[in-house]
Amino acid sequence: MWCRCGRIAIYEDRCEDCWAEDQAHYDDRVTRRARTEFGGVPSHVKTKNLVMDTNVIKAGDVVGFSGRSWLSAGINLATYGIPLWGISHVGIMAHADDGQLLIFESTSLDDLPCEISGKIFTGTQAHKLDDILRVYKGRVYHYPLYRPLYSAEDERLTQFLMDTIHTPYDMMGAMRSAGVGLSWFESLFRPQDLSTIFCSEWLASALSTIGVFPTSNASRWNPNKLTRYLRWNGVVCRARRLK
């Protein structure tokens, strides 16, 4: 893959120099957004480089996965990511009804029982992050939300995820969002549909529900496109690798 400047891209779709330039602009946007919406840079944001405290994982944070399987490689190729490096799956951290901080994801690959139902399910489910890190084969990244959620937002996020948990996985929707064949063109004319849900669709819907990422159609977002957009627009801070 080539960078916009004509050199080989070594990180997603940019070379090292363009990445550093974009990161500087991104940091400025995070500062302005935090000051506008939160009344100042939160205390746990380092004002020097504006990165959330890497020891804190909170509700609203995004978790990105880069798998080593052929399926993950295929997803990256279809969504303009780099196989074995780009993001092929996403989840969101949130509180369950009992107050547990869990990762909520929609997948057809987990062999872990859902923390909510106690059963293995293909579709939307919740797990302890440590359990996912233990069994996942590939890289895992933590994208901190640019600020902590207000209590009302936290509750609204929980309500949305609990209302839509145990929804079947949407394989066709995932293919449309990735642009396989003519499916991307088809997706332009299809309204949002949460009767079945794929991973980035659930994440986009959740972030839209709490108001930090307005979108008219969560069904059009694939993992690579969504994480790139969230970072570029200062919704999440730069990632740190968890595994």
For residue 194, tell me if it sits in a domain. yes
pLDDT per residue as tens digits for the range 105-137: 999 887 899 999 999 999 999 999 999 999 998
Total domain count for the chain? Answer: 1
Reference 157, options 224, 96, 217; nearest CA is 96
> What pTM did the predictor assign?
0.74
Q: What whole-number distance in Å separates Cα of residue 203 and Cα of residue 157?
A: 11
CATH code of the domain containing 186:
3.90.1720.10
For residue 6, tell me if it sits in a domain. no
> What pLDDT shows up at residue 72?
54
Q: Is the pLDDT of residue 44 over 80?
A: no
For residue 229, tell me if it sits in a domain. yes
Residues spanned by the domain of 95: 42-241
Within 8 A by CB and 6+ apart from 132, the residues are 63, 91, 103, 110, 112, 140
For residue 15, tell me if it sits in a domain. no
For residue 2, tell me if it sits in a domain. no
Reference 144, options 208, 229, 241, 63; nearest CA is 63
Q: Average pLDDT for residues 77-96, to the nearest whole number?
A: 75
For residue 104, tell me if it sits in a domain. yes
Lowest pLDDT segment from 39-43, 152-156, 208-212, 239-243? 39-43
> What pLDDT shows up at residue 182?
45
For residue 199, tell me if it sits in a domain. yes
For residue 47, tell me if it sits in a domain. yes
